[in-house]
A and B are shown apart, each in its own frame.
Chain A
Amino acid sequence: MRIALDKVAGEQVAKYLCRIMQSVFVLAVGLAITACSDTDRATDLSEEITNKKVRQYLLEHPELVLDDPEIARAISSARSARQHQARALWRKSILAKNASLLDSALTPASGDVGSQVTIIEFYDYQCMPCKASYPELKQIKKTEKDVRIIYAQLPVFGSYSTLAARGAIGAHRQGLFQDYHDALMTANVRLDAGSIFTMAADIGLDIEKLQADMRDPQVIHYLEQMRILADELDVTGTPAFVVGDSILRGGTGVKELKLELNRQRTQSHLPSGV
C-alpha cells in the first residue's frame, strides 16, 4: 500500500517537477527572448514565469539554475542584453540632450539631418587608427544611403592635434571641411603648425580668416563642449564611432560599420520603446 501510495505520490512529484522544469526552461527562453527585445512576447512569458510555484521552487532550489550551464548562459545573456539596452537608452538620452551641439553650425557633417541612422566619429588627426578607418568610413559614406556622418573633433594627442581640430572647424566655416579633412587624414607628415597651414593653403583656405577662426572663443568653447560630450558618452580613446545608439571603439572597418548600421536600421523599424 505504502509502495503504491509512494508510487502515486512519486508520479505526482515527477509530474510537478516536470512542469517546473518546463517552466524553468520557459524562464530561460523567456529571458533570452526578452533580450531580443520582443516586448509583447516577453510580457506574456513573464506572466508565466512569475508563477508563484516556480518562483517558490527556484527560491528553494537555486542550484537548479546555478548548476545548469544552459540556464546560466541564458540568464547571463538576458542580463547582458538588458544592460546593452539600458546603455543604448542612456546613450540616446545623452545624444538628445546634446542635439544642439551636434546640429550646431560648427559641426561638420555629411548626409541629411533626418537620415535613418547617424554615425558620430570622435577622432584625432594624429591618431593612426583614425587614419586607418578613414577610407572605411569614406566607403560607407559612398555606399550606404540614408546615413548621416558627424565629424566630432576629439583632439587627444597634444597641441598640434588641437590646432588641427580648430583648423578643421575653421575650414568648415569656409565651406572646405571635406577637402581639409581629407588632406589631414591622408597626410603622411607629422603635424605641426607649418604642415597644418600649408595643407590649408594648398586647398585654398583663406589663411588669415582661418587663423582668426581658430582663435575664436566660440570655436574653442565648441571643442570643449565636444570633449565633454565624449566624456559623457564614455569615449575613452580614439576613434570611437557612435552608430545610432551603439558605440564601436577603436579602428573600425566597413564590415563592422555595415553590421551595426543594419542592426540599427532593423531596430528603428521596431515599435518605439523597444
Chain B
Amino acid sequence: MLRKYRFIIPFIIGLKALSVTAAESLVIPDPKNYPSLSTKKMGHVRHMINLANQLDGDFSLMGETDPVYHMSFHAYQFQIAFAQYALASAHYHYTPAHRDLYQKASTRLIQRMIYKDVWDYWAHVSKFDLTDRTGSEGGQERMIYYTEDDWYGWIDPNIKKNIMYSGHLLQMVGLHQNLFNDNRYDEPGSLTFRYAPIEYGQGPVEMKYDYHRLAKVIYDQFVEDRYRGIECERNAVYAECNQHPILGLMSYDLKNGTDLSVKVRKEFKKVMRKRKYINPETNTTMYFLKVKEDEVVPATYAWADGWNGHAQHVWDKEYIKSIYPDQKKRYFPSMLRGWPFENMGWGVSFDFGFFALLASEVGDTETVQAMVDYADEHFEPTWKDGGYYYPHTRFYVYNFLRDWLGYIHNVGPLTGNVLVGFASINPKDGLWKIYNQPRGKSHFDEPFITDVEYLEANVTQAVYAADKDALIVTLAPASVESEATSFTVRQLDPEKTYVLVRDGQVLGEVNRKSNLALPNAKWQTDGSLVISTGLTEPQSFILQARAATLAAR
C-alpha cells in the first residue's frame, strides 16, 4: 500500500514544509488591532436588528403612544431612526466588510418608518400649537389651543413642518444610500405613505415621495423659513430637530454632487448664534423658538444638549467640543446619583440617553463607560433573543423619582432600546467620520462577506485592510448554538492566492483561478468562497493575499 504512494508521500511532506515555512515568515495582521464589537455591544446591535425585523405593525418593547399628545420623545419614529444611526455606526466602524445584514435592517427600519402608525400622529398633532402647555385638567396637561385653520390636521407628514419626522427620514435614507451604495430610494414613489383613516370618512390617500423629493421639500422649507429652522410641532422650532435634516442634506450632497447643505449649515449657524439657540453664557441649548411670538425659550436640559450636540458635532465639531466640558460639569455629577426620592422631571430618561450619546461622539470614553456601567447596574439589562437592552420601566411616563439611595431607575423605550446601546457602540467622532470620511467607491469593490447565519453567528468584526490586502473577520456564537456554520467571501481577486488563517493558525491557501481550495473553504460557481467552521466560541479568520504577505515581510 505504502509502495503505491511512495512518490506522493515526499511530495506531501514537501508541501507541508513549504506551508510551514511560509506561515513562519508571514506577517499576518492581528485582529486585535482592528475594532471589534464586544459581547454586549453586539447584543445592542442585535437588539436593534430584532426591532427592525418585527412586523410593521408590531411595536412590542417600544412603549406606548402618548395618550395626550399622541407623540413624545419616546415615539416610535425616534426609536426607529436612532436605531438606524446606531447600526450605521456599528457597520461603519466595526463591520464595514459585512453589509447585507445591516443593509437589510436599514431597509426594514425605513419601511417601518413609513408605516402609518409611526407618522399618522401628525394628522392630530398638526392641529395644535403646543408651545403653551399650561392648560390642564385633573392634573393632566391637555391640548386646548386649536390653531386657526386646521381642525382636521395635515395628513402628509413631510410637506410642511414636522421636521421631527421628515428630518429623520431624510437622514435615514441618506445614510442608507451612502453606506450601502444602494439607490433604491431614488425611484419615484419608493417612499409611499398610505393613509386610510376611517374616522375621517375619506377615501385612502397616498403620498408619494422619493429621496429627491424629500430633500427638495425640506431644503425649500429651510429657505422659506430664512434658515431659522423648520418647525417640529406647530409654532416650535427645536434646534436638535433641525440637525437631522442637515445631516440628511449632507448625505444628499455627497451622493448627488449638490451643495444644499453648505448654505443651510452656514445660514442656520448664523441664526443659531444671533438668536442664541445655544446660550453663550450657559452653553446650553434652547428649549425651542416660538415662531409667532418670535421668542427663544431658554433651557438647561441635558437631553437637549446631548441631542443637538451629538448631531451638530458632525458639521461643527470644534464648537461642540468647546462647550462640552461646561455641559458635562452642569449635568454629569447629578446624573448618576443624587438626593433620595428627588423628582428628576419628565426628561430624566432622555437626559441620560442623549447625554451618553454626546459623550461618545466627542470621545469622552470615561463618561460613556461610567454611564454604560450605571445602566448595566441599575437599568435591569436584559438579553432577549440574542439582543441586549434595558426594558422600559413600567411607569416611565410619570415616575421620575430617584430611589431611596438616590439612583435613577426611570428608563424610557428610546433610551433603553437604543440610546445607551448607541452610545456604547459609537466611538469617538463616530458620526463625524461617517459624514466627513465617507467610504469611497473603491470600498464597494473590496472583498466582503455575506450569508452569515443570523441564528448561529454574530460578526463582531469584518474589515478589509487595504494596506495589507487582508480581510479580517471575527465570528462569535449567536442565539442558537451551532456545531458548524459558514460565511461567504465575495470579490476576492481570482488571480491572487490567499492565505487562510484561523485564530492565528495558517490553514492553507486558496486560489480561484487554479481552483485551489481547502476542506473548509470551497469555491462556488459564482466566484465566491464559502468558509465553514465550528462555532462554539469566537473565532477570527484572515484571508490575506499572498503577494501582500510576502511584501509585508
Contacts and interface: CB of A to CB of B under 8 A. Distances in A.
B552 interface: no
A159 B55 contact: no
A159 B451 contact: no
Given A79-B201, A79-B203, A80-B198, A159 B480 contact: yes
A83 B480 contact: no
Interface string A97-138: 000000000000000000000000000000000000000000
Given A159-B479, A193-B480, A231 B201 contact: no
B58 interface: yes
A137 B478 CA distance: 35
A93 to B, nearest CB: 16
A86 B206 CA distance: 14
Contacts of B204: 83, 86
A237 B57 contact: yes
Interface string B377-396: 00000001110000000000
B58 A159 contact: no
A158 interface: yes
Contact of B58 (A156, A162, A215): A156
A83 B196 contact: yes
Interface residues of A, number: 22
A80 B200 CA distance: 12
Contact of B57 (A76, A159, A236): A236
Contacts of B55: 154, 156, 230, 235-238
Interface in A131-183: 154, 156, 158-160, 162-163
B479 A236 contact: no
B54 A156 contact: yes
A156 B55 CA distance: 7
Contacts of A215: 453
Nearest to A214: B455
A237 B58 contact: yes
Contacts of A83: 196, 203-204
Given A76-B201, A83-B203, A162-B455, A236 B480 contact: no
Contacts of B111: 231
Interface string B467-505: 000000000001111000000000000000000000000
B444 to A, nearest CB: 23
Nearest to B478: A159
A158 B203 contact: no
Contacts of B453: 215
Given A217-B451, A236-B58, A237-B58, A158 B201 contact: no
B56 interface: yes
B201 A159 contact: no
A239 to B, nearest CB: 12
Contacts of B53: 156
B50 interface: yes
Nearest to B58: A237
Contact of A158 (B56, B196, B451, B479): B479
Contact of A159 (B54, B203, B455): B455
A167 to B, nearest CB: 12
A159 B385 contact: yes
A86 B478 CA distance: 44
Interface of B: 50, 53-58, 111, 196, 198, 201, 203-204, 384-386, 451, 453-455, 478-481
Given A83-B204, A215-B453, 14 more contacts: A76-B201, A86-B204, A154-B55, A156-B54, A156-B58, A158-B386, A159-B385, A163-B480, A230-B55, A231-B56, A231-B111, A234-B56, A236-B57, A237-B55
Interface of A: 76, 79-80, 83, 86, 154, 156, 158-160, 162-163, 193, 215, 217, 230-231, 234-238
